Amino acid sequence: SQKIEQNSEALNIQEGKTATLTCNYTNYSPAYLQWYRQDPGRGPVFLLLIRENEKEKRKERLKVTFDTTLKQSLFHITASQPADSATYLCALGSGGYQKVTFGIGTKLQVIP
Amino acid sequence: EAGVVQSPRYKIIEKKQPVAFWCNPISGHNTLYWYLQNLGQGPELLIRYENEEAVDDSQLPKDRFSAERLKGVDSTLKIQPAELGDSAVYLCASSSRTSGDYEQYFGPGTRLTVT
């Protein structure tokens, strides 16, 4: 069956360091992959999309990679700040542009 | 631009009672989604609308859940009767076909507690 894996354990890093979050998937051939940020008590907020034919995409301090051979996406936040503390969800899209499946998310805590 | 609006934000009901949630999507967004999110989990799709048509409701427990999107704008999600296991956050999201990144815009959610 299709499976999306994100590290369920919280990731704690020091302010200024680069945070790297992982999204692995099995039995899935996504056309694209999205990353969302979710703060407590709020709905997810879209950050980035990367397509299956793209290796890397950047937006300000964010960088996403997509390796369809390894079936993995890495999400990097450089020069992390305490304001980056949140849960980050990956979502895989296929079967039409609007159909996505979310992972469980990884909680990031940036320590001042 | 106003975001996705949901109401109520919180709802506490006793089991076997009915409950309804309302969603107003971003103006012009033809696609509307209802998700369920349990604590520590990602959003799980319940139903997706394209305008007035429910195009994906395979995960909607139709024995107790129902949804409608009249005139292709606002939508309501109903549970009748509610069970203890229905306690969760119900998220509404909308998106536009013209968006190249297929991003979904989420509302703040309705936190349902069934006692």
The answer to whether residue B48 neighbours chain A at the CB level (below 8 Å) is yes
Asked if B103 lies within 8 A of A101 by C-beta distance, the reply is: no
Quick one: closest CA in A to B31, which residue? A98
On the question of pLDDT at A29 being above 90, the answer is no
What is the CB neighbour count within 10 angstroms for residue B39? 7
Q: Where are the beta strands (DSSP E) in chain B?
A: 5-7, 10-13, 19-24, 31-37, 44-50, 53-56, 65-68, 75-79, 88-95, 105-106, 110-114
Please give the share of chain B, as a percent, with pLDDT higher than 90. Answer: 88
Task: Give the mean pLDDT of A35-53.
Answer: 96
Please report which confidence band the pLDDT of residue A98 belongs to, taking 50, 70 and 90 as the band edges: low
Q: Where are the beta strands (DSSP E) in A7-71?
A: 11-14, 19-26, 32-38, 45-51, 56-59, 62-67
Q: What is the helix (H) or strand (E) element at residue A72, kind and residue range?
A: strand A72-77
* pLDDT the model gives residue A96: 62
On the question of pLDDT at B14 being above 90, the answer is yes
Q: For residues B111 and B15, what is the distance between their CA atoms, to the nearest angstrom?
A: 15
Q: For residues B46 and A101, what is the distance between their CA atoms, to the nearest angstrom?
A: 11
CB B112 within 8 A of CB B88: yes
pLDDT in tens, B101-112: 889 999 999 999
3-class SS at A4?
Answer: strand
Structure tokens at A39: 């703060």
- Looking at CA atoms only, how far is residue A103 from chain B in angstroms? 5
**Which of B6, B45, B102, B111 to probe by mutation at the A interface, max A CB count within 10 Å?**
B102
Q: For residues A20 and A13, what is the distance between their CA atoms, to the nearest angstrom?
A: 10
Residues of B in contact with A100 (CB under 8 A): 102, 104
- Looking at CA atoms only, how far is residue B13 from chain A in angstroms? 20
On the question of pLDDT at B1 being above 70, the answer is no
Average pLDDT of every residue of chain A: 94
Please report which confidence band the pLDDT of residue A97 belongs to, taking 50, 70 and 90 as the band edges: low
Residues of A in contact with B105 (CB under 8 A): 46
Please report which confidence band the pLDDT of residue B68 belongs to, taking 50, 70 and 90 as the band edges: very high
On the question of pLDDT at A95 being above 70, the answer is no
Which of B32, B36, B27, B16 minimizes the C-alpha distance to B114? B16
Structure tokens at B63: 């024995």
Please report which confidence band the pLDDT of residue A9 belongs to, taking 50, 70 and 90 as the band edges: confident
Please give the share of chain A, as a percent, with pLDDT higher than 90. Answer: 84
CB pairs under 8 A between A and B: 58
Say which amino acid occupies A53.
N
Task: Give the mean pLDDT of B73-86.
Answer: 97
